Amino acid sequence: MPQLNPHPWFMIMMMLWTITLTMILTKMTKYKSTNMITQNSMHKQHQSWTWPWQ
């Protein structure tokens, strides 16, 4: 039963994973987030809420 022999299928699987990962990584490194964190937004102080019933 040749399908139980993992030797050729393991190499095919590894080659496909390598190709897939390289393609995904090149696409992901080109991606730029639209919500860049600025230095000013990290130092904002948040005010507490004022509730009308208190």
- Show pLDDT as tens, one digit a residue, over the chain (54 residues): 556 777 788 889 999 999 999 998 888 888 776 776 666 555 566 677 777 776
Helix (H, G, I), strand (E, B) or coil at 53: coil
Q: What count of Cα atoms within 13 Å lies in the side-chain half-sphere of residue 25?
A: 6
Q: What is the dihedral of CA 7, 12, 13, 14, to 10 degrees?
A: 90
Residue in the block written with tokens 């080109």 = 30
Residue 9: which residues within 8 A CB-CB, separation 6 or more? 3
The pTM of the whole model exceeds 0.75: no
E strand or H helix at 20, and its extent? helix 6-30
